[in-house]
Amino acid sequence: MDWKEEYTRWLTNAQLDRDMKKQLEVIAGNETLIEDCFYKSLEFGTGGLRGELGVGTNRLNVYTIRKATEGLAQYIIQKGELAKKQGVVIAYDCRHKSPEFALEAARVLGKHGIIVYLFNELKPTPLLSYSVRRLNASAGIVITASHNPPEYNGYKVYGSDGCQITLDAANAIISNINAVVDELEIEVLDKDRLLDSGTLKMIGQEIEKEYMEEMKSIIVNQEVLDKYAKELKIVFTPLHGTSNRLVQKGLKEFGFSNVNIVKEQEQPDPNFSTVDSPNPEEHAAFKLAISYGEKMDADILMGTDPDADRVGVVVKDNQGNYVVLTGNQTGALMLDYLLSNKQDIPTNGTVLKTIVTSEIGREIAKAYNLETIDTLTGFKYIGEKINQFEQTNKHQFMFGYEESYGYLIGDFVRDKDAIQACLFIAEVAAYHKSKGASLYQALENIFDRYGYFYEDLKSITLKGKAGLVQMIKIMEHFRVIEEFQVGENKLIKKDDYRISVSKNVVSGEIETIKLPPSDVLKFFLSDDSWFCIRPSGTEPKIKFYFGVKGSSVEDAKGKLVLIRDKVNSIIKRLT
Q: Per-residue pLDDT averaged across 118-129, rounded?
A: 98
**DSSP output for 69-110:** HHHHHHHHHHH-HHHHHH-EEEEE-SSTTHHHHHHHHHHHHH
Q: Are residues 428 and 516 in the same domain?
A: no
> CA–CA separation, 289 vs 30, rounded Å?
42
175 is catalytic: no
Under the banding of pLDDT at 50, 70 and 90, the label for residue 166 is confident
What is the structure's pLDDT at 417?
A: 98
Q: Which of 41, 98, 131, 146 does the annotation list as catalytic?
A: 146
pLDDT digits (tens, 9 = 90+) for 27-84: 999 999 999 999 999 989 878 999 999 999 999 999 999 999 999 999 999 999 999 9
Q: Are residues 569 and 425 in the same domain?
A: no
> CA–CA separation, 250 vs 217, rounded Å?
12
Report whether 235 contacts 292 (CB < 8 A): yes
Strands of the sheet with 139-143, listed across from one edge: 48-52, 152-159, 139-143, 88-92, 116-119, 200-203
Q: Are residues 252 and 392 in the same domain?
A: yes
What is the structure's pLDDT at 465?
A: 80
> CA–CA separation, 459 vs 533, rounded Å?
10
Asked whether residue 221 is assigned to any structural domain, the reply reads no
Q: Are residues 299 and 438 in the same domain?
A: yes
Asked whether residue 30 is assigned to any structural domain, the reply reads no
> CA–CA separation, 394 vs 520, rounded Å?
28
Please state, for a pLDDT cut of 70, what percent of the chain lies above it. 100
pLDDT digits (tens, 9 = 90+) for 258-279: 999 999 999 999 999 999 999 9
Q: Are residues 458 and 352 in the same domain?
A: no
**398 membership: H or E segment, kind and range:** strand 396-402
Instruction: Specify whether the backbone of 189 is left (phi greater than 0), alpha (psi in -120 to 50) or beta.
Output: beta
Report whether 369 contacts 416 (CB < 8 A): no
Q: What angle do CA 88, 311, 523 make, to 5 degrees?
A: 95
Q: Are residues 398 and 538 in the same domain?
A: no
Is pLDDT of 538 > 80?
no
Q: Which residue has better confidence, 537 or 406?
A: 406
Q: Are residues 78 and 100 in the same domain?
A: yes
Q: Are residues 436 and 478 in the same domain?
A: no
Residue 533's domain comprises 452-574
Asked whether residue 16 is assigned to any structural domain, the reply reads no
pLDDT digits (tens, 9 = 90+) for 356-387: 999 999 999 999 999 999 999 999 999 999 99
Domain boundary among 206, 239, 274: 206
Asked whether residue 19 is assigned to any structural domain, the reply reads no
pLDDT digits (tens, 9 = 90+) for 380-397: 999 999 999 999 999 999
What is the structure's pLDDT at 167?
A: 86
Is pLDDT of 92 > 90?
yes
Asked whether residue 13 is assigned to any structural domain, the reply reads no
- Computed over every residue of the chain, the mean pLDDT equals 96
How many Cβ atoms from other residues are within 10 Å of residue 317's Cβ? 13
What's the start-to-end Cα distance of the chain, in Å? Answer: 31
Is pLDDT of 416 > 90?
yes
Is pLDDT of 537 > 80?
no
Report strand pairing: 501-504 vs 371-375. Answer: unpaired
Q: Are residues 431 and 466 in the same domain?
A: no
Asked whether residue 35 is assigned to any structural domain, the reply reads no
What is the structure's pLDDT at 356?
A: 97
Under the banding of pLDDT at 50, 70 and 90, the label for residue 107 is very high
What is the structure's pLDDT at 574?
A: 87
Asked whether residue 424 is assigned to any structural domain, the reply reads yes
Q: Per-residue pLDDT averaged across 448-469, rounded?
A: 91
What is the structure's pLDDT at 264?
A: 98
Is pLDDT of 406 > 90?
yes
pLDDT digits (tens, 9 = 90+) for 170-191: 999 999 999 999 999 999 999 9
Domain boundary among 450, 479, 509: 450
The CATH number of residue 142's host domain is 3.40.120.10
Asked whether residue 263 is assigned to any structural domain, the reply reads yes
Q: Are residues 252 and 368 in the same domain?
A: yes
What is the structure's pLDDT at 463?
A: 84
3-state secondary structure of 454: strand
Q: Are residues 256 and 184 in the same domain?
A: no
Q: Are residues 331 and 343 in the same domain?
A: yes
Report whether 225 contacts 427 (CB < 8 A): yes
Radius of gyration of the chain (CA): 24
Domain boundary among 405, 420, 450: 450
The CATH number of residue 556's host domain is 3.30.310.50
What is the structure's pLDDT at 533?
A: 97
Q: Considering the entire predicted model, what is its pTM?
A: 0.94
What is the structure's pLDDT at 536?
A: 85
Under the banding of pLDDT at 50, 70 and 90, the label for residue 575 is confident
Domains identified in the chain, total number:
3
